[in-house]
Structure 1
């Protein structure tokens, strides 16, 4: 088994060479002097190698821990190289699948489905409101706490109804992300009842026929006024 002193004493040669540690772990010494950790193993009878980092960024103890983790995966029937590649791909996809990207995709879907222009415009407004806080965050990583913080900022400005509607539309975005396998939960659902619900103002109904007639005449007069001004 290697020691740190032995590793520090390794010198480059004209060609790269290996210095073994134990259980498949070794140091690859390159002609340029770089020292790279590698571990070799067999999976289904095929010999494979996996990079574990550069020395001294990855020390001897850490390299052995990484080797042991790979061996545990092998014992579970998992190829460590394939598992690492899959994890890297998933991380890259998650980083690119932001809240705004999914929201824009949903809005495009709404347009293709023939939703009213006013509805689409309002949807874009909600996305713009939430964008500074969570727009660039991977949608799968957004927590209910993050979303609530963004909604509360809107609420503190006195826009209670807008905050409630923004939560509702955010819920649609998260549900779409879940449906398209880019998220596993909808944090907006957890926030039901967390925002101030503004009191609905009811206007008195017109019950008298005379009053109703006056209303119709007023509407008709308003139409004539508009036509005249045009």
Structure 2
């Protein structure tokens, strides 16, 4: 039988040779000096050999244990070499089902028709908070405890970094994204359950801060602030367009020159075809017509000098975000003007409140806000309804907005 002393004394020769230990175990000494453990056995009357590792990385005691484990397989009519191959195949299968790999497949296969902005948000959420915890873990082995750890850590990270936004909202988004990947894993037979289900309610969603009308002081600060605006002309004009039109920020950002008809003095937001990298032009993806006030007409003529050679009316100053201004640009600009608690959406609430107080027809206001008509068939034909009334209303509204600086 071999001992460590004897193994260490074995010298290389011109050809490889083997020295036996016991019960089929031997050590092979190669001309290079490398010493390898081998287990010789017979299966179905056929001689075979199994590699057990390199000495001294695998010591004598460990080599004997490995041999004994192989012998147990033989006692159960299992070929140790075939068993090892099967284990390698299973290991490769497991490594191909890590959360990160499945998530990337989900993005490629399922999110193909989503906007580039949404896909970017999805990827960043996973890279920031999810992959570091469960990226290398097999989707079958992910537990609800893992998800709870991720969402709690997300809340802590957002709060500690002092980033804008709610840690709870970010955490809940991460939970939603993980759940989407896990359900895809279930559908593709790589997981058995969705571990996000058990932690629903573990993080409370903060109350939504609904849009509210600007105060008189905020109205004055906004209108006078535009006269001393220190940002780009494009962002300034986008802010004023938003105030004049009652449009959502996404509609301002995604407005194209092809929608603007100076002859008819109207902006025509079409139904988007939503190609791979295209976002909806309106929130509900409906046809929407916006008659121009005189102020808006003059403003867009000026903006045409700035960006008339580009696709978007209000393009990104730095050429980012698919050519449009960023989704936080308008809100950041408002804060820089001193309107710290005002958001872009508050201008729609302001218009709705003031116009209702002045007894404009509620149907005109709702149509101009592009709120959904409950009757979908009727809504598809009603995009041009009350057009002249809406044109007059928006003209009076633009006059009201201009009056804020007086």
What band does the TM-score fall into relative to the shorter chain? Answer: 0.7 to 0.9
**Alpha-carbon distance in 1 for matches of 2:77, 2:69:** 13
Name the CA shift for 1:183/1:80 in 2 (closer, same or farther; >3 Å): farther
Name the structure 2 match of 1:46: 46
SS of match in other structure, 2:136? coil
Count of residues paired in the alignment: 219
- By relative contact order (CA 8 Å, sep 6+), the higher-ranking structure is 2
**CA shift at 1:16, angstroms?**
1.1
Aligned: 1:170 with 2:178: yes
**CA shift at 1:10, angstroms?**
1.5
Name the structure 2 match of 1:134: 130
**Alpha-carbon distance in 2 for matches of 1:161, 1:211:** 38
For structure 1, which runs of at least 5 residues remain unmatched after alignment? Answer: none
**Alpha-carbon distance in 2 for matches of 1:45, 1:28:** 23
**Alpha-carbon distance in 1 for matches of 2:121, 2:393:** 31
Aligned: 1:77 with 2:77: yes
CA offset digits 1:161-200 (Å, max 9, x no partner): 3422331231121122233243444322232222123346
**Alpha-carbon distance in 2 for matches of 1:28, 1:222:** 96
CA offset digits 1:53-98 (Å, max 9, x no partner): 1111111111000011111122223222222222223333433444
TM-score by length of 2: 0.47
1:64-143 correspondence to structure 2 within 5 Å: 64-111=64-111, 115=113, 117-118=114-115, 121-135=117-131, 136-140=135-139, 141-143=141-143
For structure 2, which runs of at least 5 residues remain unmatched after alignment? Answer: 159-165, 212-351, 369-389, 399-406
**Alpha-carbon distance in 1 for matches of 2:35, 2:153:** 51
Name the CA shift for 1:167/1:60 in 2 (closer, same or farther; >3 Å): same
**Alpha-carbon distance in 2 for matches of 1:222, 1:133:** 51
**CA shift at 1:201, angstroms?**
6.6
CA RMSD of superposed structures (Å): 3.3
**Alpha-carbon distance in 1 for matches of 2:155, 2:204:** 8
**Alpha-carbon distance in 1 for matches of 2:138, 2:392:** 49
Name the CA shift for 1:19/1:99 in 2 (closer, same or farther; >3 Å): same
Write out the 4+ residue segments of structure 1 that deviate beyond 6 Å after TM superposition.
none
SS of match in other structure, 1:42? strand
Corresponding residue to 2:201 among 176, 190, 193: 193
**CA shift at 1:212, angstroms?**
8.3
- The range that moved more, 84-93 or 30-39, is 84-93
Structure (1 or 2) with the greater helix fraction: 1
TM-score by length of 1: 0.77
Name the structure 1 match of 2:58: 58
Aligned: 1:9 with 2:157: no
Structure 1 or 2, whichever has the larger Rg, is 2
